[in-house]
């Protein structure tokens, strides 16, 4: 009777998950203190903070994937996007804020990769949160010095004949990579193509998924 | 390292020697989202109290030790709080008092009902 009368097992036979309650850190207490003081002073409200979090949660790489897929299927949009990515993505309905967004197109001869050496600037309003490694000191330090090695660690090995361009972001100027459209996707709809576009492929540390796996 | 623009800031890490890139995606914790949400609201067009540039200036000047030991959202919260105090929106005394009150509130909950 392996599942009976065992303190660490639920009636379904799975182990209980341990409680995740531990004391708040100093910084968590600081966040509560700042938030409550700002609400008390009428600078903001709990409702506004909640709505802001909802908006942040709604941003994700699928937004960028829709932009990429449209660039692959709509030549006029592609031209607009490469000309002024802020305006082109706003026209698609994305609230990308005041920053200048620049689209970088990968081709057969050129691969683009994005970093922010000074901070961790990232087109959050289009792609959502940056991955943790993007904010890491190692990625920020090394990508500008040994990009091919960094890319290889992400599983992207490029022939020597491919030019690698590294783009260092700033708070006011952020980038999105338009990866090269995978071969074998002729005639695909924009929606089907968007499913191939990964977050990392829009940073340059990845490639789109192969159509065989989709 | 120095050039004609003067010494390099400690946040200016491009090209520095560094080890392996940590290939892990950590969850976005709720208190971190709150920090981000508050910063966004404080910098929006209706308030313009704390801009992103001011937060950056804060953690790019609050000392290398703090910069190197605090996590991303701790850095942002520390810098944002410094700007709020600098501008007189909240005082250090008010904050200390609120943290103290919070500590009491959150440590008292272990008593069974």
Crossing angle of helices A75-83 and A61-73, rounded to 10°: 120
- Residue A158 included in any domain: yes
Cross-strand pairs, A176: A103
Residue A52 sits in the same domain as residue A147: no
- Residue A213 included in any domain: no
pLDDT band at A23; cut points 50, 70, 90: confident
Contact call for residues A184 and A132 (beta carbons, < 8 A): no
* Lowest mean per-residue pLDDT among A100-104, B31-35, B61-65: B61-65
Residue A105 sits in the same domain as residue A153: yes
Residue A43 sits in the same domain as residue A103: no
Share of chain A above pLDDT 90, in %: 82
3-state secondary structure of A165: strand
Q: Give the pLDDT mean for A99-107.
A: 95
pLDDT digits (tens, 9 = 90+) for B35-67: 999 999 999 989 999 998 999 999 998 899 999
Contact call for residues A148 and A158 (beta carbons, < 8 A): yes
Residue A93 sits in the same domain as residue A45: no
CATH architecture of the domain B32-104 equals: Orthogonal Bundle (1.10)
Question: What CATH code is carried by the domain that includes residue A92?
Answer: 3.90.330.10
Provide φ and ψ at A110, rounded to 5°.
Answer: -140, 135
Q: Which residue has the higher pLDDT, B107 or B71?
A: B71
Question: Is A121 an active-site residue?
Answer: yes
The token duo for A8 is: 């660490």
Average pLDDT score, chain A: 92
d(CA A134, CA A120) in angstroms, rounded, equals 7
- Residue A2 included in any domain: no
Beta strand B6-7 with A163-168: parallel, antiparallel or unpaired? unpaired
pLDDT band at B107; cut points 50, 70, 90: low
Residue A114 sits in the same domain as residue A102: yes
Residue A50 sits in the same domain as residue A63: no
- Residue A135 included in any domain: yes
Beta strand extents in chain A (DSSP E only): 100-105, 110-115, 163-168, 173-178
Predicted ipTM of the assembly: 0.88
> Which of A36, A52, A138 faces B18 most closely, judged by CB atoms?
A138
- From the annotation, which residues of A make up the binding site for Fe(3+)? 116, 119-121
How distant is the Cα of B26 from the closest Cα of chain A, in angstroms?
Answer: 7
Residue A77 sits in the same domain as residue A118: yes
Contacts of A1 (CB under 8 A, 6+ apart): none
Residue A64 sits in the same domain as residue A43: no
pLDDT value, residue A7? 62
How distant is the Cα of B64 from the closest Cα of chain A, in angstroms?
Answer: 13
* Count: domains in chain A: 2
Residue A49 sits in the same domain as residue A74: no
Residue A152 sits in the same domain as residue A190: yes
- Whether A3 shows a pLDDT value over 70: the answer reads no
- Residue A9 included in any domain: no
Q: Do B21 and A150 touch (CB under 8 A)?
A: yes
pLDDT value, residue B103? 76
Domain that holds residue A46: 26-57
- Residue A34 included in any domain: yes
Contact call for residues B102 and A33 (beta carbons, < 8 A): yes
Other C-beta atoms lying within 10 Å of the C-beta of residue B29: 11
Other C-beta atoms lying within 10 Å of the C-beta of residue A4: 8
User: Residues of A numbered 157-176 whose beta carbons fall under 8 angstroms of chain B's beta carbons: which are they?
Assistant: 168, 171
Q: Give the pLDDT mean for B24-32.
A: 90
Closest to A99 measured CA to CA, from A130, A78, A81, A124: A124
Q: Sign of torsion, CA A177 A181 A187 A191?
A: negative
Residue A63 sits in the same domain as residue A50: no
Contact call for residues B78 and B59 (beta carbons, < 8 A): yes
User: Residues of A numbered 51-110 whose beta carbons fall under 8 angstroms of chain B's beta carbons: which are they?
Assistant: 52-53, 56-57
Contact call for residues B51 and B43 (beta carbons, < 8 A): yes
Checking phi first, is residue A174 left (phi over 0); if not, alpha (psi -120 to 50) or beta?
A: beta
Domain ranges of chain B: 32-104
Of A57, A80, A100, which residue constitutes the final position of a domain?
Answer: A57
DSSP A172: T
Residue A41 sits in the same domain as residue A75: no
């Amino acid at each position: 009777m392996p599942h009976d009368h065992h303190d660490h097992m639920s009636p379904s036979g799975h182990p209980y998950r341990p409680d995740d309650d531990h004391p708040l850190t100093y910084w968590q207490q600081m966040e509560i203190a700042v938030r409550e003081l700002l609400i008390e002073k009428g600078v903001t409200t709990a409702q506004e903070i909640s709505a802001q979090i909802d908006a942040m949660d709604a941003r994700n790489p699928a937004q960028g994937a829709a932009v990429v897929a449209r660039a692959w299927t709509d030549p006029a949009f592609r031209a607009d996007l490469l000309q002024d990515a802020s305006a082109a993505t706003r026209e698609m309905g994305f609230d990308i804020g005041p920053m200048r967004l620049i689209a970088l197109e990968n081709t057969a001869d050129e691969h683009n990769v994005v970093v922010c050496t000074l901070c961790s600037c990232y087109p959050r309003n289009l792609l959502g949160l940056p991955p943790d490694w993007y904010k890491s000191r190692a990625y920020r330090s090394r990508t500008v010095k040994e990009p091919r090695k960094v890319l290889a660690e992400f599983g992207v090995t490029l022939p020597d004949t491919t030019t690698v361009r590294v783009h260092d972001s700033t708070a006011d100027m952020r980038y999105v990579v338009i990866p090269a459209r995978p071969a074998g996707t002729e005639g695909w709809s924009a929606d089907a193509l968007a499913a191939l576009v990964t977050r990392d492929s829009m940073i340059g540390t990845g490639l789109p998924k192969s159509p065989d796996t989709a | 390292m120095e050039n004609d623009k003067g010494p390099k800031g400690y946040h200016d890490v491009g090209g520095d020697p560094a080890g392996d890139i940590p290939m892990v995606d950590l969850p976005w914790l709720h208190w971190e989202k709150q920090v981000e949400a508050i910063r966004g609201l404080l910098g929006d067009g209706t308030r313009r109290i704390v801009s992103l540039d001011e937060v950056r200036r804060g953690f790019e000047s609050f000392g290398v030790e703090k910069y190197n030991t605090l996590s991303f959202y701790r850095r942002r919260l520390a810098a944002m709080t410094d700007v709020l105090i600098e501008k007189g929106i909240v005082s250090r005394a008010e904050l200390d008092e609120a943290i103290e009150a919070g500590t009491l509130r959150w440590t008292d909950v272990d008593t069974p009902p």
